[in-house]
Structure 1
Amino acid sequence: MTTINVANDFSKWPAGRYRGDGPYSGEVFRDDVLVPALARAEIVEVQLDGARGYGSSFLEEAFGGLARLGKYTRQQLKERLKIVSLEDPSLPAEILFYIEKH
């Protein structure tokens, strides 16, 4: 298992959907952090606490984009991603929603 703490390993201010939206967008997180972690480890724990909030565009692109772009199936993502947020317990369900809709 590998762990990604978004605030420490990526940014305390994740925002935007696409690379063009800035260096801490969902697309950057997905392609530069999340996909390599999934290639290295069977289970990836993503800790969301410590960041200054998450927009739906960031979350949909980062997590929903994995399924939408065919990088992984919905089932693979549900088995391999462990989403943790003590500060906002609704975030894991929101992320699962974005994965499920693709």
Structure 2
Amino acid sequence: MKMTKMIISKEFSEYPAGRYRADGAFSGEVFRDDLLIPKLTDFDVVEINLDGSMGYGSSFLEEAFGGLVRIRNFTKEILHKKLRFNYKEDPLVIEEIWHYIDTAHG
């Protein structure tokens, strides 16, 4: 099983914000399309560490993670097998991410 780890604050931005690419270079759409989808395609498990950022807005999280189901045709079941999250600073954000994945319609 191929696994990779990603620290958003180091590999993407300490200031992730916005939903769409038009909202800026560190939006949920940019994160999803340019960083997350390639890792999900290349690895069986992607462990994402959310610590070290200045927070995550709901539009960023919904687009980055719910968008995997809505736009990119990953199933919820596949994502539950492939994604792992760590966020010591605010563990409730992990619940929020799973909510966006589980309620998205593909």
Shorter-chain TM-score category? over 0.9
- Cα deviation, 1:23-64, whole Å, max 9, x if unaligned, reads 000000000000000111100001000000000000000000
Q: Which runs of 4+ in 1 moved over 4 A?
A: none
Instruction: Please say if 1:60 is aligned against 2:65.
Output: no
CA distance in 2, matches of 1:41, 1:19: 25
Find the partner of 2:53 among 39, 51, 54. Answer: 51
Secondary structure in 1 matching 2:90: coil
Task: State the partner residue of 2:81.
Answer: 79
Secondary structure in 2 matching 1:44: strand
TM-score, normalisation: structure 2: 0.94
CA distance in 2, matches of 1:13, 1:34: 17
Find the partner of 2:95 among 90, 93, 96. Answer: 93
TM-score, normalisation: structure 1: 0.98
Secondary structure in 2 matching 1:11: coil
Task: State the partner residue of 2:42.
Answer: 40
Cα RMSD between the aligned structures? 0.7
Shift of 1:71: 2.7
Secondary structure in 2 matching 1:60: helix
Secondary structure in 2 matching 1:4: strand
